[in-house]
Structure 1
Amino acid sequence: MLAVAVSRDDSASVHIGERLRDIADWTDHTDGSRPDADGGGTVYRTDSVELREFDALHLELDGVADAFGHADGADGRTEPALLVFASRHAGETGPLLTAHHTGNVGPAEYGGEPGAFARACPNAHRRVLAALREHAPEGYEVGMEATHHGPTDVGVPSMFVEVGSDDPQWDDPDAAGAVARAILALADTDPDAPDENGTRRHLVGFGGGHYAPRFERIVTETDWAVGHVAPDWGLDAMGDPERNRDVVRRAFEASAADYAVVEGDRPELKRVVDELGYRAVSETWVRETTGVALDLVAVVEERLGSVDDGVRFGERASEYGSDANGGGGDLAVVALPDDLLAEAQGIDGEAARAAVERATVAFETSESGTRAGGRALVAADCDGAALVDDLAAVLEAKYETVERADGAVVARESAFDPERARTLGVPDGPKLGRLAEGEPVTVDGDEIDPAVVRVEREHRFPVDDSAG
């Protein structure tokens, strides 16, 4: 069940609540077990959503999940799976729809406990941002914020979904309606991403600004979700990571995360993350592992090396599900045909890279991931000859003939020989250039045919079909 908390002390929250009741089909119930000011009285329900109103501001509603799920006149209770605070956002940010988790990286100036975090809902947060973008009225930006303010003890995974940033927007029925629709889109959304053998595609964010553009990119452009985000100002308030290891640990636990992206130069924080048993990864790592089973990522990094060190995934990575086919037992590490590959990449880098990606599960790269080369992880049924053929086809754009012979790709070309031209009296300069371009030239009254100053050259690129 999705729980929605509306604060009567927040005009934007009241408007969102009104729009929620207009949009969906609700039934009215009465909860006499609690004061009206504390979520009792009239309760609104659909099959999967329950809405309650409170007098206090949201950041003061510790343990608020306990108010939800009580049936009329009965002792039974359906605990909500997710709770959303329909709220206002205040700031100098203009028209803005936003969502964020709650907690305090440092002191608790606005509710909650210091160094504590409410249980985040990374998957639902990712979904609500997409829904806000879908429904946002013209002129409204959509963004995510770093973790800030209370409550830190909610009882179930939760987040704030907000209209900002001043009175005109708080009173805007279109903005309230957009937030209402985005909240209702969460009715059947799990708070967390699916479990992948004991971990999830959840990240903790450390560093950056309050409006977290890096983490918003990750949520928008990858299949990873972000839980708590501790911005620069929060980390400064927290202080030394070593002395605040428990705060760092709580951020991971409250995000159901094993990975973090750390923005900026924070070696001490990364060391603490590692010592706590979590892993700091780059945005590149997050992007490259999108769409790849995390079990397979582990197998690839164990056998080839880290994605952050240049390992990349091929198209065949998509064939492996969450169990990575029994831990990658049907995968083999092979050497790529580096000489042939280097020549092909020099002719058409995109075509050569595509050939490697088609043939492999993963492969090594150099030059910041731009050039394939070295080793690859391939499936047992990998057709090494197909990769060689694809690379040989790239060579045909440069060479006159390309063929397979005696464990090699043999490429032949007819090339201009400037030394032969000079022996025929052709001086350096325009005539030498025209001759190199295939034009006849006249020297001392004699015409020199371009064919007589060309030589046949053969290039051999060793290959092992069984290794690709």
Structure 2
Amino acid sequence: MSRHTAASNRPALTVHPIGIPHLEHDANSPAGGKPGRASPPNSRIGAWFRLLKSTAANNNLLPEFEVTLEATHHGPWTEVPAMFVEIGSTEDYWRREDAAATVASVFMKGLGLDGDQAVGCWSEEIHAGEKVLLGIGGGHYAPRHTDIAQKDGVWVGHLLSGYSLLMSDPGANVKDYDKIEGTWKEAILEAVSATKRAFPGGEVVAHLDGKSFKAWQRNAITWFLGKKNIKVGKPGDFAP
């Protein structure tokens, strides 16, 4: 659990995976983490996001508070599956007891501390073969990926914002995708690898927010995913 900040100062409750896979390995990381690496995303991200939204509604925090996913960002680095659940976006909202009580309730129910079964736990024996969302593109709050994650049963892995996929403009060589410089390919592969570690036996499927990319970017990413045998799914493909 952590405090969320945003330039908008809008009250928000957020959930997100952690990592900075878009940075070069020798880059500075002022917000922690290992440059070029993404920690395994906790399998609870999707289920707890839905639980957070329903609990906020029951506690009359909606629509004052926005409940949303965030794209993968900041540290720390951990080799065990992790996620952040945050209250934002200013000190006034950090101090809100009803917001804190909502998050506490999510932890109690999500971890099974209320006597019921824990929420969002992945079991390879039970869930092998199920699809796991890898979000690619969109803004920091990943609205199109968030729309998918609102459906019951959707598993959520890493979410790479469009601005985190650093791609040099190829100019006249627009179809020579392999020569497009930047850390975009490394970021995608790291996010895929980390998500696979978090969901053993699952099928990691990419979902592209195509409208957030220029045509050459979208085509290059689609080409690269195909080259690496990573399927691209439509919104309806992720719900069980």
TM-score range, shorter chain: 0.7 to 0.9
3-state DSSP of counterpart to 1:221: coil
| AA in 1 matched with 2:194 | A
Cα 1:100–1:220 shift into 2, 3 Å = same
1:249 aligns with 2:189: yes
Moved more, 165-174 or 218-227: 218-227
Q: 2:148 aligned to 188, 193, 218, which one?
A: 218
| Structure 1 residue 155, shift from structure 2 partner | 2.9
Quick check: 2:17–2:71 contact (8 Å CA) kept in 1?
yes
In structure 1, what is the equivalent of residue 95 of structure 2? 171
| Structure 1 residue 244, shift from structure 2 partner | 4.8
Cα 1:196–1:259 shift into 2, 3 Å = farther
Cα 1:131–1:196 shift into 2, 3 Å = closer
| AA in 1 matched with 2:37 | A
In structure 1, what is the equivalent of residue 65 of structure 2? 140
Cα 1:182–1:252 shift into 2, 3 Å = same
Cα 1:190–1:282 shift into 2, 3 Å = closer
1:115 aligns with 2:36: yes
| AA in 2 matched with 1:184 | M
| AA in 1 matched with 2:129 | T
| Structure 1 residue 197, shift from structure 2 partner | 7.8
3-state DSSP of counterpart to 2:18: coil
1:277 aligns with 2:217: no
3-state DSSP of counterpart to 1:158: coil
TM-score by length of 1: 0.40
Distance in 1 (CA, whole Å) between partners of 2:166 and 2:189 is 17
Distance in 1 (CA, whole Å) between partners of 2:167 and 2:52 is 31
Post-superposition Cα deviations, 1:124-146, rounded to whole Å, max 9, x if no partner, equal: 11121122112224222211100
| AA in 2 matched with 1:89 | H
| Structure 1 residue 90, shift from structure 2 partner | 0.4
* Alignment of structure 1 residues 296-311 onto 2, 5 Å: none
- State the percentage of identical aligned residues: 28
Distance in 2 (CA, whole Å) between partners of 1:243 and 1:94 is 31
Quick check: 2:167–2:182 contact (8 Å CA) kept in 1?
no
Cα 1:180–1:218 shift into 2, 3 Å = same
Q: Which structure would you say has the larger Rg?
A: 1
How many aligned positions are there?
201
Quick check: 1:241–1:268 contact (8 Å CA) kept in 2?
no
Distance in 1 (CA, whole Å) between partners of 2:41 and 2:142 is 16
In structure 1, what is the equivalent of residue 2 of structure 2? 87
Q: Which has the higher contact order (CA 8 A, sep 6+)?
A: 2
Cα 1:168–1:225 shift into 2, 3 Å = same
CA RMSD of aligned residues (A): 2.5
* Alignment of structure 1 residues 348-363 onto 2, 5 Å: none
Distance in 2 (CA, whole Å) between partners of 1:252 and 1:213 is 20
Quick check: 1:242–1:272 contact (8 Å CA) kept in 2?
no
3-state DSSP of counterpart to 2:3: strand
Cα 1:148–1:191 shift into 2, 3 Å = farther
* Alignment of structure 1 residues 4-83 onto 2, 5 Å: none
| AA in 2 matched with 1:185 | K
1:150 aligns with 2:90: no
Distance in 1 (CA, whole Å) between partners of 2:51 and 2:120 is 15
Distance in 2 (CA, whole Å) between partners of 1:242 and 1:271 is 16
In structure 2, what is the equivalent of residue 127 of structure 1? 47
Gaps spanning 5+ residues in structure 1: where?
Answer: 1-85, 292-468
3-state DSSP of counterpart to 1:156: coil
| Structure 1 residue 198, shift from structure 2 partner | 4.7
